[in-house]
């Protein structure tokens, strides 16, 4: 049984339309139930204190404002740990710099999307979530312009270790994550589909293409390969379908997975074709791929949402 509690002033500031905080019913060792228990169990004061502490913590997490702040801190810490892990693996020579950059590229976006369910169901929760890529945007700008220096972090996000590289691919990358969070959030599948194809798809194209693409260049772009494009199509669409199935299962949007899979496959095919074009030196893949998905999502909006 949940008892609706009062809504604090601080909470009204962030969630003006917030519903009453759901308070958990007292636990088995709480003060209310302790006073009703036989004397022999009252000495369980330790149980009562720890249970009340746990119950209080759960009540706090039931508070949307507390939950969103905790989720923001957790995702920010996750981002720092991911980049630090890439730095260590590169520093120890376990992976080379190019692979380190691609691992961060492949894992950061999906890792961020996996944090989205940690946030509350409040309409403004997305503005807490967007703090995470925003902080990374600030870090990329400060590093890219040389305002702060951190050679290891620059190496984990660049091809050649040049800090100015961060003002292209990584900058566009975090901007796309910010846009996907604010514009689409958990209300539309377009956001996670765009992130999946940019991160999982384009990232895998590089990793697989560099290793298996030598003998199968694309006729219209010999710098890229059938192997790389196939990896993008399969990896990107697989990740997108997985995220959409997860978010449908969590009730964020209703969808017919059969029809949604067909739409995602079609969008992935078009995005893969766009990624394969020899325009990367003019238009970064981190812009063209998610941009194409957003455009197709808009054109198919009635179908994508109504599925
Ligand atoms: N469809 C693709 C894409 C990439 N590659 C391989 O991956 C390398 C890098 O691909 P690219 O998309 O150009 O990656 P970068 O631009 O270096 O990295 P990023 O996209 O992160 O900017 C290419 O030279 C090629 O060997 C491939 O074979 N087939
Ligand atoms: C090198 C990259 C792109 C070039 O194509 C990736 C840049 C990564 C960003 C600077 C870091 C982004 C972090 C995410 C916003 C949050 C990730 C959180 C999650 C829990 C890992």
Which residues surround ligand 1 with Cβ inside 6 Å?
Answer: 105, 159, 169, 202, 205-206, 209-210, 213, 223-225, 228-229, 232, 275-276, 280, 285
What is the predicted pLDDT for the residue at 211?
95
CA distance 167 to 61: 37
What is the predicted pLDDT for the residue at 78?
97
Residue 297 has pLDDT above 80, yes or no: yes
What ligand is nearest to the CA atom of residue 132? 2
Give the model confidence (pLDDT) of 36-55 as tens digits. 556 666 666 666 766 776 66
Evaluate: CB of 21 within 6 angstroms of ligand 2. Answer: no
The atom of ligand 2 lying closest to the CA of 104 is 6
Give the model confidence (pLDDT) of 9-20 as tens digits. 656 656 754 544
What ligand is nearest to the CA atom of residue 106? 2
Query: Residue of the nearest CA to atom 24 in ligand 1?
Result: 223
Separation of 2 CA from ligand 1 center, angstroms?
Answer: 53
Query: Residue of the nearest CA to atom 16 in ligand 1?
Result: 280
What ligand is nearest to the CA atom of residue 103? 2
Separation of 52 CA from ligand 1 center, angstroms?
Answer: 55
CA distances from 289 to 238, 268, 300 (A): 16, 9, 16
Separation of 3 CA from ligand 2 center, angstroms?
Answer: 40
What is the predicted pLDDT for the residue at 300?
82
CA distance 288 to 10: 41
Separation of 228 CA from ligand 1 center, angstroms?
Answer: 8
Residues in the chain: 307
Query: Residue of the nearest CA to atom 1 in ligand 2?
Result: 157
Q: Give the DSSP letter string of 76-112.
A: HHHHHHHHHHHHHHHHTTSS-HHHHHHHHHHHHHHHH
Query: Residue of the nearest CA to atom 20 in ligand 1?
Result: 285
Instruction: Find the helix packing angle between 285-299 and 169-179, rounded to 10°.
Output: 20
Separation of 123 CA from ligand 2 center, angstroms?
Answer: 24
Query: Mean pLDDT for the chain?
Result: 86
Give the model confidence (pLDDT) of 102-126 as tens digits. 999 999 999 999 999 999 999 999 9
Is pTM beyond 0.90? Reply is: no
83: tokens are 């980049």
Residue 251: what are its φ and ψ, rounded to 5°? Answer: 85, 15
Give the model confidence (pLDDT) of 132-186 as tens digits. 999 999 999 999 999 999 998 998 898 888 999 999 999 999 999 999 999 999 9
CA distance 18 to 295: 33
Separation of 295 CA from ligand 2 center, angstroms?
Answer: 23
């Amino acid at each position: 049984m949940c008892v609706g509690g009062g809504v604090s002033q601080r909470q009204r500031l962030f969630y003006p339309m917030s519903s009453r905080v759901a308070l958990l019913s007292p636990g088995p060792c709480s003060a209310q139930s302790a006073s009703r228990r036989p004397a022999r169990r009252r000495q369980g004061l330790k149980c009562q204190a720890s249970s009340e502490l746990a119950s209080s913590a759960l009540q706090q997490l039931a508070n949307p404002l507390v939950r969103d702040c905790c989720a923001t801190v957790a995702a920010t810490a996750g981002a720092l740990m991911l980049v630090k892990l890439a730095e260590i693996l590169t520093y120890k020579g376990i992976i080379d710099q190019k692979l380190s950059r691609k691992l961060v590229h492949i894992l950061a976006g999906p890792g961020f999307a996996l944090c989205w369910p940690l946030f509350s169901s409040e309409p403004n929760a997305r503005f807490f979530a967007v703090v995470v890529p925003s902080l990374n945007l600030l870090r990329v700008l400060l590093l890219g312009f040389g305002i702060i220096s951190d050679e290891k972090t620059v190496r984990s996000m660049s091809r050649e270790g040049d800090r100015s590289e961060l003002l292209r691919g990584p900058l566009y990358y975090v901007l796309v994550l910010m846009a996907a969070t604010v514009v689409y959030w958990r209300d539309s599948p377009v956001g996670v589909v765009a992130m999946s194809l940019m991160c999982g798809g384009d990232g895998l194209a590089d990793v697989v293409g560099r290793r298996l693409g030598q003998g199968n260049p694309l006729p219209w772009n010999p710098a890229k390969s059938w192997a790389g494009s196939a990896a993008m199509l399969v990896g990107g669409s697989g990740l997108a379908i997985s995220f959409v199935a997860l978010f449908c299962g969590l009730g964020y949007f209703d969808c017919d997975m059969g029809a949604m899979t067909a739409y995602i496959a079609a969008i992935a095919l078009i995005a893969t074709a766009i990624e394969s074009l020899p325009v990367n030196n003019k238009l970064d893949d981190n812009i063209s791929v998610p941009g194409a998905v957003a455009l197709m999502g808009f054109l198919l909006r009635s179908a994508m949402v109504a599925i």
